[in-house]
Structure 1
Amino acid sequence: MRVHRGWEGDRLDGLAGVDALVVTGAPNAVHSAERSRGAELELLRGALTAEVPVLGVGIGAQLLAVAAGGAVRHDQDAGIGRGTVRTAPAAGSDPLFAGVPPEPSRLRYWHGDTVDLPAGAVVLASDERRRVRAFRIGGSAWGLHFPVEADASAADGPARSTPEQLPGLLLARFAALVTARAEHTATRSFFTRRADAWEDRFSYQTPAYEAAVARMELGRGQTAMDLGCGTGRAMPALRAHVGSEGTVLGVDVTLAMLTAAARSGRTASGQLLLADCTRLPVPSASVHGIFAAGLVDHLPRPHTALREWARVSTADGTLLLFHPAGRIERAARHGRPLSPDDPLAEPNLRPMLDATGWHLTTYDDAERHFLARAVPARCPPPPVDKPATVTGWLPPVRATSPRSP
């Protein structure tokens, strides 16, 4: 835990390595010290963009609302003391508030201000005068406009919680949510701040992507997925192979990357899907070709991902693991030797594929690229290809009317 006292001049370090933000009270009000709040508001805006979980409490909730485009205003009747808070209908499906007892909660107030929420914010609880006391912005940020303290009994869950234990219950649930999302939070934080420059920085690799896609041997009318697609550099090549009657999906867990993909015109080649690559929202046995570039060795549980990809693959499907640089080149670029624990090393990758429903047919760790091709293990395995060097590529094809999935 890193504690920053902004009103005392503590420097905020940014979001690198941060799993969540908890923004609490301070001696001065938001509307009376907006100039001194610039660093905090910038940090909150970055967290909202990267979907880093945020819990704003009291003045922290006010800061969250302002960071998202809302406002804070003085309200002499806002309340100091205790008042009644009721949950809103939207609370029933909220990760923090779902299952909270329906009876009113008596909570303490300590504010002379009230919040005007930005467009799109979801009201989760209000007081007897219909002032907002809890809200959510997006899918990862919550504001609680009342003091929060916790005790051990609050973690027992809604069935055993009284209304007075609501603040502690919300804290316990937020902690559990942060833990469950930590892996995705790190990924989103890393890629969000790089998304705008990603396409320009790596556009020179497009021919290598096109050549790799050609090795998948996809047919017209089939369904192909670019997993961890980033800005979708493989999507035009996938579209070229499945034709306008096929389906192409670009899947990524970072919204900023998909936004950059759309800005680069990838929606002309297929559909962009915000989703976890280890829990795909598609039917079993529905995908003919899975392309994953630079993904497996960055997943904390690659076995889980490979099993999920086997689930969605058709019996005659293809999995292509690719990187536009070989393992030796990448290790040298990062100033380290090749690790024997590298999941892409053939002695590690082959048994991992065998254990998750795949059969490795091609393993090509060349100087300028890495490529491994596998087919579902339930199919009779074809002969193993000899390593080959990628030397050519197909011209990109723009689909005129890609079919929705």
Structure 2
Amino acid sequence: MAVLVVEHVPGEGPYAIGPALDAAGLRTRLCQVWADDALPESLAGIEALVVMGGPMAAHSDDGFPTRGAELALLRAALAADVPVLGVCLGAQLLAVAADGSAVEGSGLQVGWGDVRTGPPAATDPLLAGAPERLGVLHWHGDTMELPDGAVLLASCDRYPVQAFRIGGAAWGLQFHLEADESTVDTFMAAFPADAATVPGLRDATPAALAALIPHRDRVLGRFAALVADRAEHTASRTFFTPRAARWEARFAADTPAYASAVARMGLRPGQTALDLGCGTGRVLPALRAEVGDKGTVLGVDVTPAMLTAAAREGRDGDLAHLLVADCLRLPLPSGTVDGIFSAGLLDHLAEPAAALREWARVVRPGGTLLLFHPSGRAERAARHSRPPSPDDPLAEPNLRPMLTAGGWHTQEYDDARAYFLTRAVRTG
């Protein structure tokens, strides 16, 4: 996994963004499209997307051969909730990708100048704590119109859209928050005609930069921390989002096996059942049948596109409540669930032992956990031309003690050719 940084022209690089990503332990993959670096065709292996500035126009393909491919990546990132930071041109492209628009401005805005942070900035994950007036480096002539649902975070009189957020993980900055000690000299050398419109720009830079750095480093550090914290979710979302529309049809034949597995949970009418990693929700009707009209069925998945597919299949509303949530941080009170069903999830988690402890937290004593897969471990390994791994969390010598430590008593362990099933009961 790496953070993809798209650089359009020499000199408009990530500057202070790079050290912030490094400090968070993130790897950077620099894509210099000006040097004919190929943009990736998908977000596989990408945990965040950073799109830098440049003199080309976000509203036109003229002189901008990678515009279409960049918009496609940005749209994929928005769909999969992959963190995005767009700077200057990158911010304009982000607005276009989200169904806003980029437009020609009223002329150059170059040099140090204030932007005003609005009330939404006070609770923004990146800009919270920024001063009401923030001195930043401007260097642009175009602007943008934001799409519906975008949150305006900062503005100024001449160009009202200066910073915005789309969804929970994509930010656009019209100004150059990433500026460091070398940025102004590099920009002045690259764009001398622009620089000539601002006498004294170089002389004003040390003081302006000194005032900006604490806020710059806090904002960029928060973005890097957010990327690192969401890395596991991002990997899942980038894999499943483009597959969500076809997932149900691809595995529809497994539905009877799921229903048979649910029948072994021992659920009763009126109880609460939880499907973790529910995907398109093929097991939710079986859970509803077990707990009846007076029971509660919850489907949890970390990929919004999967839940959208589940809703399209009619598996929301009266059938089940669908939640976007982290299975390691369930938004449920302790001891409120009677049974958990989970298919093909535990062995894909970075911390399966922690997951089992969290699942035990929300289940009442005597409640049930059913781990299931519609094929056995040996069959799945054979598909990949390898033997079953002894390190597999689902291998019996690994799973039984992990369940015990997590607060579960194993009642059944059945690793058959045609399915895998483990049933455990909450102790305590």
TM-score by length of 1: 0.88
8 Å contact from structure 2 (residues 272, 337) kept in 1: yes
Q: Match for 1:138 among 152, 167, 177? A: 167
8 Å contact from structure 1 (residues 323, 370) kept in 2: yes
8 Å contact from structure 2 (residues 300, 325) kept in 1: yes
Displacement, 1:149? Answer: 2.6
Q: Match for 1:178 among 227, 248, 251? A: 227
- For residues 206-355 of structure 1, the aligned pairs below 5 Å read 206-267=255-316, 268-355=318-405
How many Å separate the matches in 2 of 1:164 and 1:340?
50
8 Å contact from structure 2 (residues 366, 427) kept in 1: no
Displacement, 1:29? Answer: 1.9
- For residues 189-208 of structure 1, the aligned pairs below 5 Å read 189-208=238-257
- Residue identity opposite 1:3 in structure 2: L
Q: Match for 1:57 among 87, 97, 101? A: 87
- Residue identity opposite 2:403 in structure 1: L
Structure 2 match to 1:6: 33
Deviation string 1:200-224 (CA, Å, 9 cap, x unpaired) is 0000000000000000010000000
How many Å separate the matches in 1 of 2:138 and 2:45?
33
How many Å separate the matches in 2 of 1:238 and 1:50?
28
Q: C-alpha root-mean-square deviation of aligned residues, in Å?
A: 1.7
Q: Does 1:30 align with 2:58?
A: yes
8 Å contact from structure 2 (residues 240, 303) kept in 1: yes
Displacement, 1:2? Answer: 2.1
How many Å separate the matches in 2 of 1:86 and 1:163?
14
Displacement, 1:60? Answer: 0.4
How many Å separate the matches in 1 of 2:61 and 2:157?
29
How many residues align? The count is 369
Structure 1 match to 2:205: none
8 Å contact from structure 1 (residues 103, 163) kept in 2: no
SS across alignment from 2:375:
coil
How many Å separate the matches in 2 of 1:165 and 1:188?
33
SS across alignment from 1:107:
strand
Moved >6 Å (runs of 4+): none
Q: Does 1:20 align with 2:20?
A: no
- For residues 349-368 of structure 1, the aligned pairs below 5 Å read 349-368=399-418
Displacement, 1:265? Answer: 1.3
Displacement, 1:129? Answer: 4.0
Q: Does 1:44 align with 2:74?
A: yes
SS across alignment from 1:143:
strand
Structure 2 match to 1:126: 155
- Residue identity opposite 1:25 in structure 2: G
How many Å separate the matches in 2 of 1:96 and 1:84?
18
How many Å separate the matches in 1 of 2:142 and 2:391?
56
How many Å separate the matches in 2 of 1:299 and 1:80?
48
Q: Match for 1:147 among 171, 176, 179? A: 176
Q: Does 1:96 align with 2:126?
A: yes
Mark the runs of 5 or more structure 2 residues left unpaired by the alignment.
Answer: 1-27, 182-209
8 Å contact from structure 2 (residues 58, 93) kept in 1: yes
Mark the runs of 5 or more structure 1 residues left unpaired by the alignment.
Answer: 153-160, 379-405
TM-score by length of 2: 0.83
- Residue identity opposite 1:88 in structure 2: G
Displacement, 1:77? Answer: 4.3
